[in-house]
Each structure stands twice: as C-alpha cells, then as structure tokens.
C-alpha cells in the first residue's frame, strides 16, 4: 500500500478490526473447551513439527491453514536476518528491552490491554518473558524453516491474542462489536470471566468499543510489529552496529513475514525503511502519549532490568540511561521516567544519554570494535538471554493464556 493511503480514516478503520480468522476459531473452541485445555493443546506444539493428534479439529485446521509463508516471503532475506541477529543478537536484545517494549508502552489505548494482563497475572514480567520467546523464535536460526520455531510460536501468539480478545469482549457484554474486513459482526457471548469482571467492576479497566476500537486491533498489531522490525535494528544502529540497507531490509522483511502469520493485513506492512518510518510515526502520532498504564509498565520493566540484570548499584542507572538513548527524551517523558527519579537523578540520566549519543556519533566511523557500548550491551544481552528463556522460578517459559483469566 502506498504510504499516502495510511490516512487517519484508514488507520481508524483498522482499529475496529481484530483477527476475524483467529477470533472465529477461539469462539468455536471456547463453546466446548475450557481455557486451560487450550493451553494444554498449545503446550503440545513443539517447533514447526507435525501436529499432535490430540488437537481439536478447529485448531488443527487453523494451524494448517496459517502455516504457509506468504507468496512474497524471501527465504534468503530471512536467513540473512537470522545471521544478523546471531551476530549482534545480544545488542538487539538490549534494543528490545530498552527501546521496542518502551515504545509499545506509549500507546495510550492498546497499552491498557497489556496493563490488564499484568493486573490479572501473578508475575509482572510475564509479558517480557513471552515477548522474548517470540523474538528469539522469529530471529533464531532456521526460524521459518522445518527445523525452526517461528511459525508455531507466532501461531500460538495469534491464538493467545484471540483468546484475550474473546475474554475482554465477554466481560464487556453482548453490546460489544467486533469488525471483520468487510462488515461489523455482533459478538453475542455469555458467561463473562469473573476475574476480568472484577477488574472492570473496580473501575480499573475501561474499554469502549466506539471510542477505543477492538482490543488488540490491527493498528495495535502493526505498530507492535514495527517495534520489532524497525525499532530493534534502529536501536542496534544507535548502539554502534553499522547495518547496510540490505541488512535492515532483511530484518524488516522477516518481521513482515511474521506479521502475515500473525494475521496482520498486508496493507499495514511497510516494506522499505522509508515506509516503516512513515507508518511508525503516523501511528505514534495518533496513539502515543502519557498514561498511568504506560508508566506502570515502564516502571515494572525497569525494575526487572535493575533487579535481574543490573544487580550492582553502580550499574542500575544504565536502565533508564539506555532507554533515553534509544527512545529519546520525549518518549522517556511519556513513560514517566522523569517522575520515577528525583529531578537531579533525571538530569544526570539525561546528560549521560546525550554524552553517550555524542560518543557513539564521534566513534562510529572507526568501526565496530571501538563502539563504547558494545561490551556493556554484550554483558547485558547474555544475562537477558539466560533470564528471558526461563521464569523467575527457573522453569521454561511457555506461551499461554494467563490462568487468572479463567
């Protein structure tokens, strides 16, 4: 789609669309199955292997129908992106934690869904773990090939989105409306989820379809995928990795392939860096701003970074400093970083961010080995990889629907 067509009217229409295919499957399954059974089924899906016989027919048909890569997928570019991620994956994970996720938290409407999952979940870093699992699957070696994990992991995330969307719509009642690509379809559901109702009843979650659109809408998904395909390589460059245009394009292309499997409309995909910058900026201009939910999530993220990765007190300022370096002061202010610390500490963080950015620009022409943040990013990245592939209790992370939604 030409960037001129990414108008407010078009993007507003995309806010009223979720995932008609995935939503229909989840509605059918939940008519007969318990929410915990869906998690059991998803736990049986390992990599891109054959489907287990125990899967309900609806889920089996969905997985088979959505497993094929789009016709425009280029396996050579996907492999190039995987090599790039393996070469600089530690730096890219710092970009994920300190740029990609914080950018997601600026979305004043969509971020309330993320905040709700934290209110219902027992662990505030659940989202961080599960996001990392998908990123590592998509960007891992052979991710979209038979031996890889990208297709199944992306399909699992798509089913989780549909299940969360269904539960929210159930709690909102029969007056809620979802939209398909062609028309609005009433969703008549009963048996609202108690825990979601409890949150809504206490006034801690407010969602109005006319004002806010569909939970986890197409616009929200498009922006989130751009934080992976556009913001992560942009952050890598800020941290000193010199990407060629072809390398950046391979990274963006890989995440567009993932977006297709996730159910994102191709009209919401940017296929060049210039288009990615335009679409990212337009959605951010529409949706970004300060919000209590965004500030809470950003604060929780920094707590995890400081507690689990930067345990030495002298290192703890690196979290907000790297975030300011990668997202800029305006976005940092949206996320409440200026109120998280005293004015003096915030000033020090801001000055340090400016200094680090200036050092990167001065030293960049001399090559990768001279980049001052590369050793720091490598150390942090190794700890992030180890931590984000396990929970705080040492067990492997699973992509699942929060049990508290039942």
Please report, for the chain, how many H helices and E strands are present, in that order: 21, 2
Q: How confident is the model at residue 115 (pLDDT cuts 50, 70, 90)?
A: confident
pLDDT tens sequence across 222-281: 999 999 999 999 988 887 778 899 999 999 999 999 999 999 999 999 999 999 999 999
- Residue 405 confidence (pLDDT): 43
| Mean pLDDT, residues 364-382 taken together | 54
Higher pLDDT, 146 or 366: 146
For the chain, the maximum distance between any two Cα atoms, rounded to a whole number of angstroms, is: 63
Question: Euclidean distance between the first and final Cα of the chain, in Å?
Answer: 40
- Whose tokens are 């089924």? That residue is 41
Distance CA 164, CA 202 (A): 19
State what percent of residues in the chain have pLDDT above 90: 31
Please report, to the nearest 10 degrees, the dihedral formed by the alpha carbons of residues 143, 149, 154, 160 taken in order.
-160
Residue 185: its H or E element: strand 184-186
Distance CA 33, CA 114 (A): 25
Res. 98: pLDDT tops 50: yes
Res. 367: pLDDT tops 60: no
Q: What is residue 178's DSSP assignment?
A: E
- Whose tokens are 């199944």? That residue is 152
Res. 29: pLDDT tops 80: yes
pLDDT tens sequence across 147-189: 788 998 899 889 888 888 887 887 776 444 444 443 343 333 3
Higher pLDDT, 67 or 178: 67
257 near 70, Cβ under 8 Å?
A: yes
| Alpha-helical regions (H) of 173-231 | 194-201, 209-212, 218-226
Q: Where are the beta strands (DSSP E) in 231-383?
A: none
Helix (H/G/I), strand (E/B), else coil: 179: strand
Res. 19: pLDDT tops 80: yes
């Amino acid at each position: 789609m030409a960037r001129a067509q990414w108008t407010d009217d078009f993007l507003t229409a995309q806010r009223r669309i979720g995932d008609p295919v995935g939503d229909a499957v989840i509605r059918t399954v939940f008519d007969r199955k318990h929410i915990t059974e869906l998690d059991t089924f998803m736990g049986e899906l390992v990599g891109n292997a054959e489907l287990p016989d125990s899967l309900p027919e609806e889920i089996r048909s969905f997985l088979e129908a959505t497993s094929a890569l789009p016709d425009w997928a280029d396996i050579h570019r996907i492999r190039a992106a995987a090599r790039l991620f393996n070469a600089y994956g530690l730096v890219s994970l710092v970009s994920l934690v300190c740029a990609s996720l914080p950018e997601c938290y600026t979305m004043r409407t969509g971020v309330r869904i993320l905040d709700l999952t934290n209110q219902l979940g027992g662990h505030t870093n659940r989202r961080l773990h599960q996001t990392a699992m998908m990123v590592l699957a998509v960007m891992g070696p052979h991710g979209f090939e038979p031996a890889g994990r990208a297709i199944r992991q992306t399909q699992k995330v798509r089913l989780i989105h549909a299940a969360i969307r269904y539960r929210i719509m159930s709690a909102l009642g029969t007056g809620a409306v979802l939209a398909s690509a062609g028309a609005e379809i009433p969703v008549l559901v009963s048996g609202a989820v108690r825990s979601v109702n409890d949150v809504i009843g206490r006034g801690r979650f407010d969602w109005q379809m006319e004002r806010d659109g569909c939970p986890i809408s197409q616009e929200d998904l498009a922006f989130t995928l751009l934080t992976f395909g556009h913001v992560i390589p942009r952050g890598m460059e800020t941290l000193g990795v010199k990407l060629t245009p072809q390398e950046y394009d391979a990274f963006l292309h890989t995440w567009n392939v993932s977006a297709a499997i996730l159910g994102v409309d191709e009209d919401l995909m940017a296929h060049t860096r210039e288009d990615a910058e335009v679409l990212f900026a337009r959605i951010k201009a529409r949706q970004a701003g300060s919000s209590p939910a965004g500030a809470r999530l950003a604060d929780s993220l920094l707590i995890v970074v400081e507690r689990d990765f930067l345990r030495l007190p002298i290192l703890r300022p690196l979290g907000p400093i790297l975030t300011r370096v990668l997202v800029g002061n305006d976005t940092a202010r949206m996320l409440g970083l200026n109120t998280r610390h005293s004015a003096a500490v915030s000033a020090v963080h801001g000055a340090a961010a400016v200094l680090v950015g200036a050092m990167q620009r001065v030293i960049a022409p001399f090559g990768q080995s001279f980049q001052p943040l590369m050793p720091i990013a490598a150390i942090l990245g190794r700890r992030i990889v180890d931590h984000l592939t396990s929970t705080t209790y040492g067990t492997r992370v699973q992509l699942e629907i929060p049990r508290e939604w039942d």
